[in-house]
Structure 1
Amino acid sequence: MSSTPKYYVVWRGREPGIYRTWEACQQQVAGFPCALFKSFKSEDEAKAAFANAPEPNGTSGAPHADAASQGADNAEKPADTRSYKPAAGPKGCPPPPPDWRHDTVLPLPPEVKADALAVDAACSGNPGPMEYRGVYLATGQQIFHYGPVHGTNNIGEFLAIVHALALLKQRGRTMTIYTDSRNALLWVKARKCRTKLERTPRTEQLFQLIERAEQWLRTHDYSDIPIIKWETKRWGEVPADFGRK
């Protein structure tokens, strides 16, 4: 048995806090719905992680916080080359991250940056009720959400990227954006939403939003913000996924 001391951070459990033994941690998380916890090698790491708890409406580490830059140092480190396979978690809850990764509460692949946004859209039908959102990968926190409105999934994916770009520019942040939509990537590159959805009174509000997004792309320089294709076959579903497939 290893004699190296560990510190266990419980963000979501019966009594959130920092625990010195696995037994004490287990008492707080065993059987607790969507428990969120992680081990750290030092007390300083544990205290820093606990202070930046991924609260649903919190701001620590998230792009919409004024001082959200703590993940930048981790983003510059070489990617860990160990194999990655996310473990299954409770239904509706993300699985815990690997023990060796301390820059995120999500089970991210080693080559994926934690100081980043992931975006995704969902649509019931095509067209149908559509919504999109952005998630900060260090905390798993939802940063923005829009909808549902009558539209298509491709439109939602496009608008989600533009929303993320505009948010980062507004906050003076530079971080990677991940999307699993190849079409949306092409549309953003072209600065044009090439949808075939008919413009009707029902979709008028959505088309006005599309026009504002296209105008934003034409009038802003976002070349310093990488927009990366999320490789679903290799990495699993994008963390912003709505889980309705």
Structure 2
Amino acid sequence: MKKNELLNPPDWRNDTVLPLPNEVKANAWAVDAACSGNPGPMEYQCIDLSTGTQVFHFGPIHGTNNIGEFLAIVHALALMEKEGITDKVIYSDSVNAQLWVAKKQCKTKLERNAQTEELYRIIARAEHWLKTHPIHTPILKWETKKWGECPADFGRK
């Protein structure tokens, strides 16, 4: 598929305003994180793939990209549960974050100190949420090599 084929949704695709690849579900949220340095100022966001709108944004806070990817997935899961959303999927391009969510533990090696203490409290809250809530929402891999950057990407590469 040529990049210019993704400029607009195809005529038959009425489920999204975004130029999504055919195999990507539009009834979904995509999450991504960005970090300036690693560690450094980290932020994450979620985009609704049917409307292209930002669902939420968090940060910046001192952390790592992997932590941001993990927290973005948990944030999306918790918000979906809170709002009673049961028919969407979540896309993330981070295999590590998906594994951490599955294991219900953020396996970061980020040093815990005064600068990272607030983030560690957020991580503990996310881990607790995962351990006390069943996950029914599919978390799918965003295939960056095949589809290009995730719609939630911050575009800083």
TM-score, length-scaled by structure 2: 0.96
The one of 1, 15, 20 aligned to 1:108 = 20
| Deviation, structure 1 residue 102 | 1.0
Secondary structure at the aligned position of 2:4 is classed as coil
Does the 8 A contact of 1:127 with 1:150 survive in 2? Answer: yes
Match of 1:231 in 2: 143
- 1:86 deviates by 4.3
Could you tell which deviates more after superposition, 149-158 or 98-107? Answer: 98-107
Q: What one-letter code is carried by the residue in structure 2 that aligns with 1:148?
A: P
**What do residues 15-53 of structure 1 show as CA deviations (whole Å, max 9, x unaligned)?**
xxxxxxxxxxxxxxxxxxxxxxxxxxxxxxxxxxxxxxx
Q: In structure 2, what is the equivalent of residue 46 of structure 1? A: none
Identity of aligned residues (%): 67
Alignment length (residue pairs): 156
Q: Please, which moves more after superposition, 205-214 or 100-109?
A: 100-109
Q: 1:98 Cα shift?
A: 1.9
Q: Deviations over 1:91-135 (max 9, x none)?
A: xxxx32222211101011111111100000000000000000000
Give CA deviations for 1:139-164 in whole Å, capped at 9, x if unaligned. 11000000001000000000000000
The one of 85, 89, 113 equivalent to 1:176 is 89
Root-mean-square deviation (CA, aligned residues, Å) is 1.3
2:79 alignment partner in structure 1: 167
Residues 1:194 and 2:107 are matched in the alignment: yes
The residue aligned with 2:48 is 136
Give 1:216's aligned residue. 129
Give the unaligned 5+ runs of structure 1.
1-83, 90-94
Question: How far did 1:85 drift?
Answer: 4.2
Matches within 5 A, 1:1-245: 84-87=1-4, 95-174=7-86, 175-222=88-135, 224-245=136-157
Distance 2:92 2:2 in 1: 20
SS of residue paired to 1:98? coil
Q: 1:88 offset after TM fit, Å?
A: 7.5
Task: Give yes or no for contact 1:118–1:239 (8 Å, CA) kept in 2.
Answer: yes
Q: Give the deviation of 1:202 after TM superposition.
A: 0.6
- For 1:173 and 1:234, the matched residues in 2 are separated by 28
**Unaligned 5+ runs, structure 2:** none
Could you tell me the TM-score, scaled by structure 1's length?
A: 0.62
Q: Kindly provide the amino acid, as one letter, of the partner of residue 212 in structure 1.
A: R
> What one-letter code is carried by the residue in structure 1 that aligns with 2:105?
K
Query: Is 1:86–1:107's contact at 8 Å kept on the other side of the alignment?
Result: no
CA displacement 1:189-223 (0-9 Å, x = unmatched): 1000000000111111100000000000000011x
Larger radius of gyration: 1
Moved over 2 A (4+): 84-89
